[in-house]
Amino acid sequence: MDDVKKKHILLSLESELSTKVEAILNDCDVELYTDELAKDKYDFVFDSNPSYEVENEETVLIISNDASNCLHSVLSPELLDNDVVQVALKRFVGEDSTIHLESEAASEAYKTFKITDPFSIGHYLDIVSSTTYKESGEFKDISNSFVNIANYYIQDVKALPIDVDMIVSKEMSVLQFHSAITDSMDCQVPESILRGISANLVDVYFIEKTRELVISLTWINGSTSKAFLKHHLNGFRKSTANNKIYENFEKLLAMSKENVEYTPSKEKGESKSSFASIKKIIDFIKGQKDSNPDFYEFSEALSQYPNKEVVSGLAQEDIDFIQKVVGTPEVYNSVNSTVKGKREDLAAGDDIAQRIAGALEEMESFEAIGLFSDEDEAYKKISGVTDNQSEDSHLVKEFASDFEALTKVSGGEKQEDENQLVKGSKEDLKEETTVISGSREEVDDKWKVKRSEIAEKVREEVQKLVSIGDSDQEEIEQRVKSIVKDELSLDDKTAEVFNESILNSASSTSLGENLGSASGEEIFLKLENDRLKGQVSKKMDQILRMKRIIDSMKADFIAKKEAEMALKEKIKESGDASIEGRYKAAEIQIAALLKEVSINETRIEQLVKGHEHTLKNKEHRMQLLEEKISDLKEKSLEASESPESKAKLAELETENKNLSNQLKITNERFETISKKYDKEVTNAPTQFQGNDSGLQTLLDKEKDKNIALQQQINEMKKTILTTEKAEEANQEVSPSEHESNLKVKELEIQLKASGLETKKYEQKIKFMTSQMNELEKKLKKVAAKAGKSNGGGKAGADLKTKRLEKNLEKINQLNDKVQADLTERKKDLHKAKQENTIMSNKVADLERKLAKYEKKAA
Amino acid sequence: MTERSVNLEELLEHKLLWGDLLWEKKNGKTTCIGSCGDFADIEFIEKLVKKEANLKINSYTDWKLVKDICETFKSLESCENEKERVAVRESFVGPFLETFLSQEKGSYIDWFTICFRTFYKLPEDIEEIYYMKNSEALKRSMAVASMTTLIAFTLGHLNFDFLQKIYNCTLIMDLDFVIQGMSEYHMRDLEKQRVSDDPSLDGRLLSLFKHHGANVNEYINRIANGEQSLINMVKFHHEQFNCGAGPEGIFDSEVGDLPQIISFVERLIPYKSFNLSDGDATGSLTTHMEKIDGYHRIKSILRTELKGAA
């Protein structure tokens, strides 16, 4: 029997998720950890980051909704509530289970059969399809998956027979395959097969003891969440036969098709309209609404859309989507920005020339006319009519019914004699009326010719740009604009409008193609989802960058601290080192401090900006999501109880939850980063303190120096006294007197220098104090803003505020100390100055006396 | 049972004795020179025939049943699609269970003969090993192979070639044991273990050979191209899946049907004194079947199908 070792699992998840997983695995033979430092190595790691890198051969499970291309096993958090998924999760961590589905099934829903012939898949496909259809009315997904997996076993893995167990009920459908395989490497089911499976849960595992490869697919009705588990197991340790279902075993063997009649359901409004055409209708109706808001009515505006064929092809959900977009400015702007945002992808594609030309070719005449500010001008430009001709046309219009006017029509104003023949000259009349009337069909024809010409030119020019390699998006767009401007003789403003319309149309078409035959709303929601996901990933990148910055700052801080310690030791060792040396050391420290202060300032600015930006985005996102939810809720209430509506609602709700969760995670990470920053800030004052003590030391030494100077001055006094005595005795001035004068001078110089130094220290202290004050202010600001933005963590905000207050207190205390020292030094300086002046006066007296003596001597 | 004379050609044709072969000596005494289900000792019989000995056989075989079911399996072999195979199975299951589980109709020799005629394809060199070392072991293996194959067919293994592989792989399940010297003493111990409550193969002589099922892969490669499902079937034929007490410690939650079928039949068929001609052989098997723990799926289908047939 195998050793039953407890499995050690690290849960690197949000607290809510972590709690859920703990509850599920509560009765399993596992040890759960939330602190990665608790052990060196784990058997399993449950994480929410799809980019998790394996460190010690641990088995990884990513619990997240955003892990589509992840290499590890993946589980959507919403599925954790499902019983089947919970069983699969327990099996994943090594709990006992069974390869036979019957142990988990009620007898009515369970069927089994074996595929022993490679060409018998069709027979059992019929059984699977008919059984599934009988129960749930659908069978497409399950049928496709059945064929894919059966073929995988037979052709890829070369395994026969295949045991297939099936459960089909209203709540869920399960297909489970197992067969003994020769090569354990074959249990890597290729991605190409897995991508074709639409099941909510795909569980692939290999049992070493018996070499059974099991692939289990579960479809949960009403759920769009996904899970993919892949793992190796040594084996199971229990018998799990379900005796109840054997009472009527004959019914369990699925040898024949179910007797069920297939009636195709009326497909409810499957969208046949492309996203591009829906977008055009949206723009048209929006234009109608904006131009005449008082008399706007949606259905009337829709009926006025010139392309009736497109309108008739709209599904009800497309119409609802259009109405919603037109009716909600924020959604309309969001659609536009999404389409515009995708133009970058268009520029990056190889077929941009074809796409833009194609968009032009699909532009209807009414669309083109709508882009002009004036309809008459539009007709002229499209028709290629000049200004002169247009004047004549205008005259003719007015007098069209008049015979005299007709006479003018054919030849012009001056040729009256010839006009007698006008009535008969049909050709002339016809030409003029063609130009004048501007009937829609005629304009259409002219526009078609014109647009083809422009499209061809655009195609050539853009292709040239792309082939040269000069395929900058802006340049391409500018080139298209200039071509359109030239060809249609447009002013700059109209050309810009035209250009935007063409490019957006190309972008919409490209989007619609990429997203298949989904309805407009589905496409929009998918795009919106992608956009928000993109924003979230950008935010994640920002966070990672911030983290890196903080890590590097940490390293810098540690290095500086070490350097400072070394410097202090050096200073201590140097003892009677020169004042200059000490001064230099102080300078170095101060320079380092200043540098840190500037770094902290920039960091604070970044944090503040980041916070503000996040807050804005969050609010905007929440707003959009709330709108979405309210719209969808209304829609679901109106719509019938169909699986599609339910599924869509569930999908949107899950999306909403997912995005909210992601935002929560983002906020939490911001909080941790802020906390880390706070730690750094709290350490900063200690650095000041340390520096303060360094400065203090210097100032103390300066004091000592002053004392020494004072002593020297006293000695000098004595010397002067003796000199005076000598003078009284009429003795000649000895060389020692000169020396004493020189010494006095030296002392004066030193005193001056000391005074200068003291001044310098004062200035530096002032500067540092001002820096500290600024830092204090900024910290207060950050604390205030952090308190506002971190609505989800009031306790965290309070803690932060307290920390900031503590920091502030420390800084204030420090400031007070420095101020006290400064005043003392000032006092000392004043004393020294006074003494200096006294000494100077005495020296002056002595000099005068000397001069006297010299004279006398002379 | 019918007693009648039999000639050499007939014996050569059948190979397997379909009843007890009796030699009526000139002194009027009758000696049994071959039991029902044994391979005919052709060499000895030829000698007797040369001496103009009178040979008789008391047949227990229902030849009509044998002929019908052999035809059924022939049609299975020629089926072109799964639907046809399902239809063949339906025509087979009723008679199988009726004769198999009923104490009054049929005997084991019928199915023994059917499977021998339909599926037997053991290579001659392997046959030779059995003849030289322990032909009783081959006979018993054939009994196990017959029931295993038929139950597998009943449970949905419908491909004829695969059924043939099941049959022939089961024939070699004890081959390694035989090669290493499986004797009458071993078979006695194995019989004790089969009928006792003690699930472990802990007899002194048996413990050395408990992994014999895992040592025949080279032969399985020859017969079945090394298909893992058949390797597992042979390897796990001594397992007790309801409690994991076999040599490999496997549970029913970890294996497919085939190992469970062979393990069930392995515990059903006696090693010693299994009289294929016994009219109520199946009856005793049925009684014993009820005592075996686990194998609910197999027991259930056998009971259920019988109810359906009735």
Euclidean distance between CA atoms A111 and A600, whole angstroms:
68
Euclidean distance between CA atoms A828 and A431, whole angstroms:
108
Would you say A743 and A712 are in contact if contact means Cβ atoms under 8 Å apart? Answer: yes
* Class of the CATH-defined domain A1-75: alpha beta
* Chain A nearest CA to B47, separation (Å): 47
B157: nearest CB among A114, A159, A249: A114
Task: Find chain B residues with C-beta within 8 A of A232's C-beta.
Answer: none
Instruction: Report angle CA A148, A154, A157 to the nearest 5 degrees.
Output: 100
Instruction: Report angle CA A690, A695, A700 to the nearest 5 degrees.
Output: 125
B110-130 tens-digit pLDDT:
888 899 999 999 998 998 888
3-state secondary structure of A297: coil
| Chain A interface mutation, best of B254, B263, B297, highest count of A Cβ atoms under 10 Å | B254
Per-residue confidence band for B163, with pLDDT thresholds at 50, 70 and 90? very high
B20-60 tens-digit pLDDT:
889 988 888 888 888 888 888 888 888 888 888 888 888 87
Q: Find tokens 């076999």 and name the residue.
A: B246
* CA-atom Rg of chain A in angstroms: 43
Per-residue confidence band for B106, with pLDDT thresholds at 50, 70 and 90? low
Tokens of A83: 């019983």
Task: Find chain B residues with C-beta within 8 A of A1's C-beta.
Answer: 244, 249
Per-residue confidence band for B145, with pLDDT thresholds at 50, 70 and 90? very high
Is the pLDDT at B94 greater than 60? The verdict is yes
Note whether A180 contacts B: Cβ–Cβ < 8 A. yes
Residue A793: its pLDDT value, please?
Answer: 47
Residue A398: its pLDDT value, please?
Answer: 41
Per-residue confidence band for A123, with pLDDT thresholds at 50, 70 and 90? very high
* CB atoms inside a 10 Å sphere around CB B177: 25
Euclidean distance between CA atoms A588 and A582, whole angstroms:
10
Packing angle, helices B82-101 and A121-136, rounded to 10: 90
Q: Find tokens 């935007």 and name the residue.
A: A500
Instruction: Check A246 against B241: CB less than 8 A apart.
Output: no
Tell me the average pLDDT across B196-206: 56
3-state secondary structure of B20: strand
Name the residue of chain B whose CA is nearest to A113's CA.
Answer: B156
* Chain A nearest CA to B259, separation (Å): 10
What are residue A32's phi and psi, to 5 degrees? -105, 140
A381-428 tens-digit pLDDT:
777 765 544 444 443 344 334 434 333 334 444 444 444 433 444 444
Better-predicted residue by pLDDT, A390 or B247: B247
Tokens of A313: 């092809």
A9: part of which helix (H) or strand (E)? Answer: strand A7-12
B160: part of which helix (H) or strand (E)? Answer: helix B160-171
* CB atoms inside a 10 Å sphere around CB A370: 17
Sign of the alpha-carbon dihedral angle for B55, B56, B59, B63:
positive
Nearest residue to B147 via CA among B263, B292, B240, B45: B263
* Chain A nearest CA to B229, separation (Å): 5
Question: Residue A378: CA atoms inside 13 Å, Cβ hemisphere, count?
Answer: 19
Note whether A563 contacts B: Cβ–Cβ < 8 A. no
Euclidean distance between CA atoms A685 and A689, whole angstroms:
6
Fill in the amino acid letter for B191. E
Same fold for the pair A1-75 and A103-263: no
Nearest residue to B159 via CA among B224, B234, B226: B224
* CB atoms inside a 10 Å sphere around CB B79: 17
List, in sequence order, every residue forming a beta bridge with A231; answer none if it has no partner. A205
Is the pLDDT at A220 greater than 70? The verdict is yes
Euclidean distance between CA atoms A752 and B201, whole angstroms:
107
Euclidean distance between CA atoms B235 and B262, whole angstroms:
10
Packing angle, helices B257-268 and B135-154, rounded to 10: 130
Q: What is the ipTM of this complex?
A: 0.89
Is the pLDDT at A298 greater than 90? The verdict is no
Better-predicted residue by pLDDT, A548 or A592: A548
| SS3 annotation, A579-636 | HHHHHHHHHHHHHHHHHHHHHHHHHHHHHHHHHHHHHHHHHHHHHHHHHHHHHHHHHH
Euclidean distance between CA atoms A425 and A415, whole angstroms:
14
Instruction: Check B297 against A246: CB less than 8 A apart.
Output: yes
Mean residue pLDDT across chain A: 76
Residues near A24 by beta carbon (within 8 Å), at least 6 away in sequence: A80, A86, A89, A90
Packing angle, helices B82-101 and B108-119, rounded to 10: 150
Name the residue of chain B whose CA is nearest to A233's CA.
Answer: B254
Name the residue of chain A whose CA is nearest to B258's CA.
Answer: A161
Per-residue confidence band for B103, with pLDDT thresholds at 50, 70 and 90? low
Would you say A857 and A732 are in contact if contact means Cβ atoms under 8 Å apart? Answer: yes
Tokens of A751: 């005193």
Break chain A into its structural domains and give their ranges.
1-75, 103-263, 342-517, 524-851
Residue A351: its pLDDT value, please?
Answer: 80
A232: part of which helix (H) or strand (E)? Answer: strand A227-233
Per-residue confidence band for A609, with pLDDT thresholds at 50, 70 and 90? confident
- Mean pLDDT check: name the lowest of A19-23, A378-382, A530-534: A530-534
Per-residue confidence band for A161, with pLDDT thresholds at 50, 70 and 90? very high
Tokens of B76: 């299975």
Euclidean distance between CA atoms A778 and A513, whole angstroms:
51
Proportion of chain A above pLDDT 90, given as a percent: 12
List, in sequence order, every residue forming a beta bridge with A173; answer none if it has no partner. A168, A219
B56: part of which helix (H) or strand (E)? Answer: strand B54-59
The two beta strands, A227-233 and A201-207, are parallel
| Chain A interface mutation, best of B228, B235, B301, B303, highest count of A Cβ atoms under 10 Å | B228
3-state secondary structure of A197: coil
DSSP structural state of residue B212? G
Bond from prior residue into A161 cis (ω within 30 degrees of 0): yes
Euclidean distance between CA atoms A429 and B127, whole angstroms:
109
Better-predicted residue by pLDDT, A88 or A858: A88
Would you say B202 and B209 are in contact if contact means Cβ atoms under 8 Å apart? Answer: no
Q: How many residues does chain B have?
A: 310
Tokens of A61: 């499970």
3-state secondary structure of B58: strand
CB-count burial class (<10 Å; 0-12, 13-18, 19+) for A516: exposed
Better-predicted residue by pLDDT, A573 or A509: A509
Tell me the average pLDDT across B78-92: 92
Is the pLDDT at B306 greater than 90? The verdict is no
List, in sequence order, every residue forming a beta bridge with B23; answer none if it has no partner. B31, B55
- Mean pLDDT check: name the lowest of A298-307, A376-385, A790-799, B274-283: A790-799
* CB atoms inside a 10 Å sphere around CB B154: 20
Q: How many residues does chain A have?
A: 858
Residue A400: its pLDDT value, please?
Answer: 38
Instruction: Report angle CA A59, A65, A68 to the nearest 5 degrees.
Output: 70
* Chain B nearest CA to A172, separation (Å): 23
List, in sequence order, every residue forming a beta bridge with A207; answer none if it has no partner. A212, A233
Is the pLDDT at A634 greater than 70? The verdict is yes
Write down the CATH number for the domain with range A103-263: 3.30.565.10
B3: part of which helix (H) or strand (E)? Answer: strand B2-5
Residues 669-698, chain A, touching B (beta carbon < 8 A): none
Euclidean distance between CA atoms A643 and A454, whole angstroms:
47
Note whether A117 contacts B: Cβ–Cβ < 8 A. yes
A733-786 tens-digit pLDDT:
445 555 656 766 777 687 677 778 777 777 877 777 787 788 777 666 755 655
Strand order through the sheet with A201-207: A30-33, A7-12, A44-47, A59-63, A73-75, A227-233, A201-207, A212-220, A172-180, A162-168, A110-115
How many beta-carbon pairs below 8 A join chains A and B? 136
Would you say A846 and A741 are in contact if contact means Cβ atoms under 8 Å apart? Answer: yes
Euclidean distance between CA atoms A343 and B113, whole angstroms:
78
List, in sequence order, every residue forming a beta bridge with A253; answer none if it has no partner. A112
Better-predicted residue by pLDDT, A470 or A347: A347
Task: Find chain B residues with C-beta within 8 A of A253's C-beta.
Answer: 155-156, 301
Is the pLDDT at A16 greater than 60? The verdict is yes
Instruction: Check A239 against B241: CB less than 8 A apart.
Output: yes
Residue A254: its pLDDT value, please?
Answer: 75
CA A692 to chain centre: 43
